[in-house]
């Protein structure tokens, strides 16, 4: 940030402080500020740092006080004087920017890890790569129209792709069986919601907590006929009610090993029939009221064969 800093001594001779790294400059200023009150001055030349003891007469003490306020900033545009406060403010600003960048980096990494985990779960049942993307986008749209705040909607967008992560614990012979599952096979298949929940439930991070709810409850049905716990109505968490509609809408419209893709007319009919049964009625209303936007997402993230 600074190429050079000058501290003005009481004899008005400017001493140059070279700062190769901003970090060095920061610690130097701190030391200077602290020691100056004890009539010491830190000077730096090249890589070397000097501690200079100043004269301690009353006059010098007064001038030392003034001196601590005079800091010059030199760059390509010339040299100008900054108050110590201004330079410290600039330092704080820079630290804040660095911190924000770091937080963004952590958040982005977290998003990628979560998204990849979701894709792993779906790949076990030969889902297309874009299925999780579409479910994420539909979920956010539902969340916004349902009245959740932007932050929660974004959280759900990131977590909903993990709904089937528990499928990593289900045998291939069941997941990819190109025929209807037997009763026993279906019972086994149903375990994926509990497996997913067990995988995610230990974290206290909001994103993982949200994902664990979604994994656990996305097969619960509004009328209480779903699994694993037969939860009913609004006892099913809103995150899971939303993910259920988003997931089924996308799954029906895509072809799988055991079925062809449904046409829109049939999907819409099922949604109307299942309003109040499988799905939260409010979400079905949101779906039809904003159909264009849901179809736009499907178009934007369609599978390329």
Residues that bind Fe ion (CB under 5 A): 164, 247
Q: With respect to Fe ion, which residue has the nearer C-beta, 137 or 164?
A: 164
Nearest distance, CB of residue 209 and Fe ion, angstroms: 18
In degrees, rounded to 5, the angle at the alpha carbon of residue 267 between the alpha carbons of residues 241 and 245 is 10
CB atoms < 10 A from the CB of 215, how many? 31
Residue 125 in contact with residue 176, Cβ under 8 Å?
yes
Residue 43 in contact with residue 60, Cβ under 8 Å?
no
Q: With respect to Fe ion, which residue has the nearer C-beta, 63 or 193?
A: 193
**Measured CA distances, 101 to 94, 97, 104, 107 (Å):** 11, 6, 5, 10
Give just the sign of the alpha carbon dihedral 246, 181, 231, 164: negative
167 catalytically annotated: yes
Nearest distance, CB of residue 131 and Fe ion, angstroms: 6
Looking at residue 21, what DSSP letter applies? S
3 state DSSP class of 275: strand
CB atoms < 10 A from the CB of 251, how many? 17
Q: With respect to Fe ion, which residue has the nearer C-beta, 152 or 164?
A: 164
Q: With respect to Fe ion, which residue has the nearer C-beta, 67 or 135?
A: 135
Q: Where are the alpha helices (DSSP H) in the chain?
A: 22-36, 58-67, 84-124, 129-146, 150-159, 172-175, 183-190, 192-200, 206-217, 238-252, 264-274, 281-289, 291-300
Nearest distance, CB of residue 204 and Fe ion, angstroms: 24
Longest dimension (CA), the chain: 96
Nearest distance, CB of residue 258 and Fe ion, angstroms: 14
Nearest distance, CB of residue 223 and Fe ion, angstroms: 18
The catalytic position among 167, 259, 277, 282 is 167
Q: With respect to Fe ion, which residue has the nearer C-beta, 71 or 170?
A: 170
- Residues with a known catalytic role: 167
């Amino acid at each position: 940030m600074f190429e050079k800093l000058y501290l003005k001594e009481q004899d008005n001779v400017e001493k140059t402080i070279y700062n190769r790294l901003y970090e060095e400059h920061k610690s130097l200023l701190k030391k200077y500020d602290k020691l100056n009150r004890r009539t010491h001055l830190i000077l730096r030349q090249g890589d070397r740092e000097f501690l200079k003891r100043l004269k301690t007469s009353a006059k010098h003490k007064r001038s030392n006080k003034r001196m601590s306020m005079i800091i010059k900033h030199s760059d390509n545009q010339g040299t100008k004087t900054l108050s110590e406060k201004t330079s410290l403010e600039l330092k704080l600003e820079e630290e804040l920017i660095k911190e924000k960048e770091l937080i963004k980096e952590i958040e982005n990494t977290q998003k990628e890890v979560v998204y990849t985990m979701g894709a792993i779960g779906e790949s076990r049942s030969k889902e297309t790569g874009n299925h999780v993307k579409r479910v994420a986008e539909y979920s956010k749209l539902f969340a916004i129209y349902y009245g959740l705040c932007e932050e929660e909607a974004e959280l759900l967008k990131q977590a909903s792709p993990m709904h089937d992560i528990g499928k990593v614990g289900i045998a291939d012979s069941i997941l990819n069986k190109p025929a209807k599952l037997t009763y026993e096979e279906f019972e086994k298949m149903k375990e994926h919601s509990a497996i997913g929940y067990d995988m995610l439930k230990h974290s206290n991070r909001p994103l993982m907590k949200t994902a664990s709810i979604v994994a656990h409850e996305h097969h619960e049905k509004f009328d209480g006929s779903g699994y694993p716990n037969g939860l009913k109505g609004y006892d099913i968490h809103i995150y899971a009610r939303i993910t259920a509609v988003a997931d089924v809408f996308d799954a029906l419209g895509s072809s799988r090993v055991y079925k062809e893709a449904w046409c829109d007319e049939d999907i819409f009919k099922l949604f109307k029939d299942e309003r109040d049964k499988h799905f939260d009625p409010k979400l079905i209303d949101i779906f039809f009221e904003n159909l264009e936007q849901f179809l736009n997402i499907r178009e934007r993230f369609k599978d390329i064969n």
